[in-house]
């Protein structure tokens, strides 16, 4: 691991060697920079970072402008930021009043897990309803819809199970719908090939804009803002 200065920020980076044709950079887990080098490459890491300095600074700015499901004070719910207020309680509970989410926590309870337990049934109901709607449009009967704690908004397995993130209900309706539509479409075309994109476009002409909006929304990860 090394450190690279971009503007006023010191960025930590890791170097990985893989079966890749070219050296390239990518950000993982928000602001962790990875330098990917082909095996046997003699490319100078420092030289590559200096060459890509402008791109790194633009990416950092883009990441800074992203919305978080939870930023330590505000919780995103159906696309709207709500102030989150934690109070002590005899048992865990969550109530929404206006633009404030009140979380009652019993002793030694975990804030994130409390919110997970509250949002998961809502995400399950929403996902099942929208999956059935899109399934009828595409002529599929979906047998399995699951909600779990995941780094991805959703995915389709090779055995045709649809799995969604419990934070689906944090998203605005148009983005949550797109996540469901995207995964249901994989029942027709499993890979992200031209046929898949054509199908998406026929059902959701602005799917590229919705994908970008999703990339600009950061899920609440288990190692972030732990209580």
Read off the pLDDT of residues 167-203 as tens digits, 9 standing for 90 and up. 999 999 999 999 999 999 999 999 999 999 999 999 9
Model pLDDT, residue 40: 86
Among residues 30, 65, 100, the one where a domain terminates is: 65
CB 111 within 8 Å of CB 126: no
Count of Cβ atoms closer than 10 Å to residue 121 Cβ:
12
Give the CA diameter of the chain: 61
86 and 36 within one domain: no
78 and 53 within one domain: no
To the nearest whole number, what is the mean pLDDT of the chain?
Answer: 91
167 and 85 within one domain: yes
Structural domain harbouring 55: 2-65
CA distance 209 to 212: 5
202 and 117 within one domain: yes
What is the pTM for the complete model shown? 0.75
Please state the domain count of the chain. 2
197 and 100 within one domain: yes
102 and 32 within one domain: no
Q: Rg (Cα) of the chain, in Å, rounded?
A: 20
Tens digit of each residue's pLDDT (9 = 90 or more) over 9-54: 888 899 999 888 889 998 876 678 999 999 888 989 999 999 999 9
Domain with residue 186: its CATH number is 3.30.2010.10
């Amino acid at each position: 691991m090394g450190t690279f200065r971009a503007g006023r920020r010191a960025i930590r980076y890791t170097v990985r060697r893989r079966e890749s044709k070219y050296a390239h950079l990518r950000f993982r887990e928000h602001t962790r920079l990875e330098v990917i080098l082909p095996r046997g490459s003699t490319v100078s890491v420092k030289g590559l970072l200096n060459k890509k300095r402008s791109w790194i600074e633009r990416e950092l700015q883009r990441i800074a402008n992203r919305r978080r499901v939870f930023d330590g004070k505000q919780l995103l719910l159906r696309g709207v930021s709500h102030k989150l207020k934690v109070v002590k309680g005899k048992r865990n509970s969550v109530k929404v009043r206006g633009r404030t989410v009140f979380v009652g926590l019993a002793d030694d309870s975990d804030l994130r897990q409390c919110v997970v337990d509250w949002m998961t049934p809502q995400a399950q109901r929403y996902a099942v309803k929208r999956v059935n709607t899109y399934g009828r449009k595409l002529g599929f009967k979906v047998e399995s819809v699951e909600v779990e704690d995941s780094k991805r908004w959703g995915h389709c397995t090779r055995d045709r199970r649809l799995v969604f993130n419990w934070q689906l209900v944090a998203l605005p309706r148009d983005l949550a719908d797109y996540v469901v539509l995207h995964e249901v479409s994989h029942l027709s075309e499993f890979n992200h090939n031209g046929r898949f994109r054509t199908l998406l476009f026929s059902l959701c002409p602005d799917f590229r804009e919705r994908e970008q909006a999703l990339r600009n929304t950061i899920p609440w990860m288990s190692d972030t803002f732990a209580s």
